């Protein structure tokens, strides 16, 4: 199974991609996670990406295209993958088409998770996570906030810089200008499945599986 999971920041792509990755035994390729790991490890990629990410800006296309090409060419993707957070610009989508052609990847599905923007803002600014194991906490539900300890592993909980309210606003603006055209690109060139992203996690997973013909 080859899936491109599309949607605005905060629609739950990461959560659903992790679940689908287990269901289909395919790697979850989250460009955001890869960049955050690179920043943590202070690799050359991380050093390049940090300034952009901290301000809610997109990392330049050439960096992202090179990264995704390398990953999709690797052995771990040979039986499928789920792309989460890429492509985010039409240029990235066009480059992906070229990569698919080169690697002879066909029969991929593009799914858009749809959530009202007011709900997205509330969700993103409510999100905290553990620095050690990555577990996600929601302040409104779990009452965990920055500095608290993760109940699973004892790591320190923090809020991503890019989930702070000013940055969330900026990320959504960038989504509208740079990323929404990607949706139209797939509507026109490939076909895109729309899934309602409001509801319980399991409910949304069921909708996704149904759309994927599971």
Residue facing ligand AMP at closest CB distance = 32
Residues that bind ligand AMP (CB under 6 A): 9, 31-32, 35, 52-53, 56-59, 64, 85-86, 88, 92, 162, 171
- Minimum Å gap between C-beta 213 and ligand AMP is 26
CA distance 179 to 164: 20
The residue (of 27 and 56) whose beta carbon lies closer to ligand AMP is 56
CA distance 144 to 204: 25
- The verdict on whether 36 is a catalytic residue reads no
The residue (of 24 and 162) whose beta carbon lies closer to ligand AMP is 162
Residue recorded with tokens 């690179």: 38
- Minimum Å gap between C-beta 199 and ligand AMP is 21
Which of 127, 135, 164, 169 is flagged as catalytic? 127
Which of 2, 36, 88, 207 is flagged as catalytic? 88
Residue recorded with tokens 């492509």: 87
- The verdict on whether 13 is a catalytic residue reads yes
CA distance 13 to 52: 21
Which of 2, 13, 36, 207 is flagged as catalytic? 13
Closest CA to 40 of 129, 132, 124: 132
Edge-to-edge strand list for the sheet holding 193-196: 28-30, 81-84, 2-6, 109-114, 193-196
- CB-based contacts of 129, cutoff 8 Å, min separation 6: 135, 136, 137, 157, 158, 159, 160
- Minimum Å gap between C-beta 11 and ligand AMP is 10
The residue (of 123 and 171) whose beta carbon lies closer to ligand AMP is 171
- The verdict on whether 127 is a catalytic residue reads yes
- Which residues are catalytically annotated? 13, 88, 127, 160, 171
């Amino acid at each position: 199974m080859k899936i491109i999971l599309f949607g605005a920041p905060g629609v739950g792509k990461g959560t659903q991609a992790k679940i689908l990755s287990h269901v289909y035994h395919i790697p979850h390729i989250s460009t955001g996670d890869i960049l955050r790991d690179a920043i943590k490890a202070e690799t050359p990629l991380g050093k390049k990406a940090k300034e952009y990410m901290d301000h809610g800006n997109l990392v330049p296309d050439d960096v992202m295209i090179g990264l995704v090409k390398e990953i999709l060419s690797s052995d771990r993707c040979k039986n499928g993958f789920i792309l989460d957070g890429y492509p985010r610009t039409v240029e990235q989508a066009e480059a992906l088409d070229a990569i698919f052609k080169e690697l002879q990847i066909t029969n991929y599905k593009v799914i858009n998770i749809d959530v009202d923007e007011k709900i997205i803002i509330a969700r993103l600014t409510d999100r905290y996570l553990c620095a050690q194991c990555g577990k996600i906490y929601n302040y409104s539900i779990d009452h965990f906030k920055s500095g608290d300890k993760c109940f699973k592993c004892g790591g320190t909980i923090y809020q991503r810089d890019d989930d702070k309210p000013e940055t969330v606003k900026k990320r959504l603006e960038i989504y509208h200008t740079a990323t929404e055209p990607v949706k139209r690109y797939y509507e026109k060139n490939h076909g895109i499945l729309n899934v309602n992203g409001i509801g319980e996690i399991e409910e949304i997973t069921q909708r996704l599986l149904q759309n994927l013909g599971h």
